[in-house]
A and B are shown apart, each in its own frame.
Chain A
């Protein structure tokens, strides 16, 4: 190791005195471990919240419901209030100038703009 790296103390030492089980013992080198963790979705599924009383707060039921107000539409490009929707790309736009720009946008940009508000075409 270079002295610079050693001096900066940036690396985590492989063996730490205060640990009962060292990292190398827990996850031995060369052993394929596979995936030993669950995503949040799987964790929540395993929690089985349905079996508990409904009024007990849990990770899922404390989520905020959707807004009671109708959502405002904003231009995807400029952010101004959008009065129109381009039927070809489904992008919202504020004025004819933006429309011209939309029509000149490459398709991947259109999809990225749509993805920003979770409206992109997802192929499954």
Chain B
């Protein structure tokens, strides 16, 4: 028995050995560097192989034991009811028969609809049959005290069932572990549950870390005077032992443990990589913690190492590759392909051009024919008598000579257009404005009614053509001005690029603020809170925007100002003008706004082109929006904030870019043209979770609980506190005690914890006083093993109490109940 349990068998590498590279595959997750796997020693086939060491038994289901009947009813059942795992087995055996995670899930079975109970972990492949939406893992523990006895009952049910219990009751004495100074109500409820529901004959309660210490004492790892440092799941304890018995008056507890370490790691990583948050599950964090976390011997210097970016720090950094599929890459078309495409395009273009030319020539010839015909007709008309004209005209469909003439003119004009000759009409209009509209300048009273009508028509035509001319001129002027401006700016840029960029940024900010403010004013914040009122209706307490306010005002004035008592609205025509007013966007400074917006668009475009200039060519090459959009679709988040995140991750690559600008780039497309700034392609590195400082930062909270806001002393100081509280013993005993410090509990498995603890305690103890810190032979299982050894002793029966005892002596007695650990 002893030989199997030597520390060497169970020990873990104190430092993770030099990294061995593990190839990164693209499809599957992998840890780049993996430490040495803990050794597996064959002890009992019924135990999960993964349980040993730092790997958790994730999906291991214990099988039902068949030999329950072989044990006499005097053989105690030993239960280690720990915060992380529930272990149950027989007294005197080496290992617990059944071990599972101390959690319960109550999902709904999908097909039958009944709520089922699942204790411990289970195969995730079977999850599809259950509906987990309303449940999660539930534990019976609040901190390290059992408080939900319904869940405890499920756990016990499962434990006894797996152990093979098949009688009408569990007819074996029970030894169960509990926390130090367990509140009496919790202890009595547990006793009640065991007595009344399972019919247990007798019970004993003991402290898990004390059993662990006693077990190691039996194997000579520690002595009868000593100290147990137990780093558990939710709490850590230090319990001094004098003459083999724990001194509870001197023990102390800090509410921090492995749970907090995992939680801290998970939170830190998901804050560091918000876009991979979904990949960082609790289970994964637990795995990372067990594989890669270690305790730094000197936290400050270890931090310095990382802060200065030394080579050692790089070697200590691990990265976890998330599954990553490279975005679809467009291959650059070969030259042949390009040439082929160009030729094809050219050919198609030529064909279209030919077709158009053919069509045009047909049209021209048609029109020429028509013109010819009409001219002939005109000639004919000139030759014949006045009386015959009407008969000829009736054949052609024209009414008069003038009509034919105007038709000829029309055709000539369109013919000229078709042939591509310059249209002289506009210039002619310009020149002959006065003669073309002769009536416009004649006073009205000199004209006949018919002429008056003609005059009105002419005036209209004249003003429109004038307007057209003016607009044309204005366009031309604007164009030339813009060109000039562009030229000036280009000069400025070439003169002093940095200053120019700075100015551009400033201008951008100023403008965008201005435009946004105006928008805000107009909508009066209606849009900022997100619940935009689409119906336009205004409920109580909702603010009106400027347009709505004006509308309200107009309506009320219409209702009240007129009539004085009776509603005369609509009696006069002007009343209806009100609606025109209402529908009009009565923003007087629209012009200024438009100008600003145009200017903003221009500045934005310039800035974008600047960015394209400043981004290194290697990034600009190839990839752009596509992979980003692809990625955004992966995460269903918006594009821009992912860009910001990428930039935050790689600040060096983006030095020249103002991230606030990039973040706002979504407002650019409003004004049209500028294309998306080119981003560097995403690489596998963007899908790597790098764990550097976190490796020792997270376990450090065991020594500095202040880091996570727990205002209590850490493990090393706890030893000092405990020794201080031992007021009754003299210094010689204290020296003996500090020469036998045993570290146990799941969190003591961190590499480097023992040396760190030793260093920490050395500072507290007097100079040159003896000090020895050892790790328990198996920090996880020792508590159960110690308890099993204890329960196998022939004197165990003296430490138990029965249901009768419990009900006769009452709670006050149960409060005083403490077992003797030395039998």
Among B166-174, B395-403, B607-615, which stretch is in contact with chain A? Answer: B166-174
Interface string of A40-60 (1 = CB under 8 A from B): 100110110000000111110
A44 to chain B: which residues have CB within 8 Å? 183
B161–A66 contact, CB under 8 A? Answer: no
Distance A67 CA – B763 CA, assembled complex (angstroms):
14
Find residues 415-453 in chain B having any chain A CB closer than 8 Å to their own CB.
Answer: none
User: Is A121 on the interface with B (CB-CB < 8 A)?
Assistant: no
- With contacts A27-B150, A64-B252, A119-B709 taken as known, whether A12 is within 8 angstroms of B185 at the C-beta atoms is no
B145–A43 contact, CB under 8 A? Answer: yes
Partner of B169 from A20, A40, A116 at Cβ < 8 Å: A20
Distance A117 CA – B168 CA, assembled complex (angstroms):
51
A23–B157 contact, CB under 8 A? Answer: yes
B143 to chain A: which residues have CB within 8 Å? 40
Among B22-30, B263-271, B517-525, B673-681, which stretch is in contact with chain A? Answer: B263-271
Total B residues in contact with A, Cβ cutoff 8 Å: 80
B161 to chain A: which residues have CB within 8 Å? 12-13, 16, 18
B712 to chain A: which residues have CB within 8 Å? 63-67
Distance A106 CA – B169 CA, assembled complex (angstroms):
59
Partner of B126 from A10, A17, A38, A40 at Cβ < 8 Å: A10
A32 to chain B: which residues have CB within 8 Å? none
**Smallest Cβ-Cβ distance to B156: which chain A residue:** A19
Find residues 70-124 in chain A having any chain B CB closer than 8 Å to their own CB.
Answer: 71-72, 74, 78-81, 94, 97, 100-101, 104, 109, 112-113, 116-119
A18–B196 contact, CB under 8 A? Answer: no
- With contacts A40-B147, A80-B303 taken as known, whether A4 is within 8 angstroms of B119 at the C-beta atoms is no
A23 to chain B: which residues have CB within 8 Å? 153-154, 157
**Smallest Cβ-Cβ distance to B148: which chain A residue:** A37
User: Is B721 on the interface with A (CB-CB < 8 A)?
Assistant: yes
**Of A9, A12, A17, most B-chain CB atoms within 10 Å:** A12
B644 to chain A: which residues have CB within 8 Å? 104
User: Is B5 on the interface with A (CB-CB < 8 A)?
Assistant: no
Partner of B157 from A12, A39, A46 at Cβ < 8 Å: A12
- With contacts A62-B251, A67-B714, A79-B694 taken as known, whether A10 is within 8 angstroms of B708 at the C-beta atoms is no
User: Is B112 on the interface with A (CB-CB < 8 A)?
Assistant: yes
Distance A113 CA – B199 CA, assembled complex (angstroms):
50
A43 to chain B: which residues have CB within 8 Å? 142, 145, 147, 183, 185-186
B198–A20 contact, CB under 8 A? Answer: yes
**Smallest Cβ-Cβ distance to A4: which chain B residue:** B126
Interface string of B662-683 (1 = CB under 8 A from A): 0000000000000000000000
Distance A62 CA – B329 CA, assembled complex (angstroms):
63
B777 to chain A: which residues have CB within 8 Å? none
User: Is B64 on the interface with A (CB-CB < 8 A)?
Assistant: yes
Within the complex, the shortest CB–CB distance from B600 to chain A, in Å, comes to: 23
**Smallest Cβ-Cβ distance to A22: which chain B residue:** B197
Within the complex, the shortest CB–CB distance from B374 to chain A, in Å, comes to: 77
**Smallest Cβ-Cβ distance to A67: which chain B residue:** B713
User: Is B274 on the interface with A (CB-CB < 8 A)?
Assistant: yes
A19 to chain B: which residues have CB within 8 Å? 157, 169, 197-198
User: Is B717 on the interface with A (CB-CB < 8 A)?
Assistant: yes
B126–A116 contact, CB under 8 A? Answer: no
B170 to chain A: which residues have CB within 8 Å? 18
User: Is B300 on the interface with A (CB-CB < 8 A)?
Assistant: yes
B123–A10 contact, CB under 8 A? Answer: yes
A47–B184 contact, CB under 8 A? Answer: yes
A67 to chain B: which residues have CB within 8 Å? 704, 706, 712-714, 717
B122 to chain A: which residues have CB within 8 Å? 8, 10
B709–A11 contact, CB under 8 A? Answer: no
- Cβ-Cβ contact count across A and B, 8 Å cutoff: 185
- With contacts A117-B708, A118-B709 taken as known, whether A57 is within 8 angstroms of B185 at the C-beta atoms is no
A21–B197 contact, CB under 8 A? Answer: yes
Within the complex, the shortest CB–CB distance from B741 to chain A, in Å, comes to: 16
**Smallest Cβ-Cβ distance to A78: which chain B residue:** B693
B183–A47 contact, CB under 8 A? Answer: yes
A13 to chain B: which residues have CB within 8 Å? 161
- With contacts A8-B126, A12-B158, A71-B706 taken as known, whether A37 is within 8 angstroms of B147 at the C-beta atoms is yes
Interface string of B118-131 (1 = CB under 8 A from A): 11001100100100
Interface string of B170-189 (1 = CB under 8 A from A): 10000000001111111000
**Smallest Cβ-Cβ distance to B764: which chain A residue:** A68
B197–A112 contact, CB under 8 A? Answer: no
Partner of B713 from A64, A72, A112, A117 at Cβ < 8 Å: A64
Distance A104 CA – B657 CA, assembled complex (angstroms):
14
Partner of A39 from B147, B182, B252, B264 at Cβ < 8 Å: B147
User: Is B711 on the interface with A (CB-CB < 8 A)?
Assistant: yes
Distance A80 CA – B697 CA, assembled complex (angstroms):
9
Distance A10 CA – B125 CA, assembled complex (angstroms):
12
A72 to chain B: which residues have CB within 8 Å? 704, 706
B267–A112 contact, CB under 8 A? Answer: yes
B118–A117 contact, CB under 8 A? Answer: no
**Smallest Cβ-Cβ distance to A63: which chain B residue:** B253
B303–A18 contact, CB under 8 A? Answer: no
User: Is B810 on the interface with A (CB-CB < 8 A)?
Assistant: no
- With contacts A21-B196, A57-B181, A97-B651 taken as known, whether A12 is within 8 angstroms of B119 at the C-beta atoms is yes
**Smallest Cβ-Cβ distance to B153: which chain A residue:** A23
Find residues 52-109 in chain B having any chain A CB closer than 8 Å to their own CB.
Answer: 61, 63-64, 109
Interface string of B521-542 (1 = CB under 8 A from A): 0000000000000000000000
**Smallest Cβ-Cβ distance to B107: which chain A residue:** A11
A100 to chain B: which residues have CB within 8 Å? 651
A74 to chain B: which residues have CB within 8 Å? 697, 707
B693 to chain A: which residues have CB within 8 Å? 78-80
B166 to chain A: which residues have CB within 8 Å? 17-18
Distance A12 CA – B180 CA, assembled complex (angstroms):
31
User: Is B307 on the interface with A (CB-CB < 8 A)?
Assistant: yes
Within the complex, the shortest CB–CB distance from B688 to chain A, in Å, comes to: 18
Distance A1 CA – B114 CA, assembled complex (angstroms):
10
B254–A64 contact, CB under 8 A? Answer: yes
User: Is B248 on the interface with A (CB-CB < 8 A)?
Assistant: yes
Within the complex, the shortest CB–CB distance from B764 to chain A, in Å, comes to: 10
Distance A55 CA – B64 CA, assembled complex (angstroms):
46
Within the complex, the shortest CB–CB distance from A97 to chain B, in Å, comes to: 7
A37–B149 contact, CB under 8 A? Answer: yes
User: Is B249 on the interface with A (CB-CB < 8 A)?
Assistant: yes
Distance A71 CA – B659 CA, assembled complex (angstroms):
36
B739 to chain A: which residues have CB within 8 Å? none
Partner of A9 from B64, B306, B694 at Cβ < 8 Å: B64
Within the complex, the shortest CB–CB distance from A41 to chain B, in Å, comes to: 8
B659–A1 contact, CB under 8 A? Answer: no
- With contacts A27-B150, A67-B713, A117-B707 taken as known, whether A17 is within 8 angstroms of B145 at the C-beta atoms is no
Find residues 740-772 in chain B having any chain A CB closer than 8 Å to their own CB.
Answer: none
Distance A19 CA – B198 CA, assembled complex (angstroms):
5
Interface string of B132-162 (1 = CB under 8 A from A): 0000000000110101111001100110110
User: Is B209 on the interface with A (CB-CB < 8 A)?
Assistant: no
Interface string of B568-588 (1 = CB under 8 A from A): 000000000000000000000
Partner of A59 from B119, B145, B254 at Cβ < 8 Å: B145
Interface string of B710-740 (1 = CB under 8 A from A): 1111100110010000000000000000000
Instruction: List 7 extra interface pairs beyond A65-B721, A80-B303, CB under 8 A.
Output: A12-B119, A19-B157, A26-B153, A57-B248, A71-B704, A113-B271, A118-B708
Interface residues of A (CB under 8 A from B): 1-2, 4-5, 8-13, 16-21, 23, 26-27, 36-40, 43-44, 46-47, 55-59, 62-69, 71-72, 74, 78-81, 94, 97, 100-101, 104, 109, 112-113, 116-119
What are 9 A-B pairs at a CB distance below 8 A? Answer: A11-B118, A12-B118, A20-B196, A20-B199, A23-B157, A43-B186, A67-B713, A72-B706, A78-B307
- Which 7 A-B pairs have CB atoms at the shortest separation, nearest pair first? A118-B709, A40-B142, A71-B706, A12-B117, A67-B713, A18-B165, A57-B248
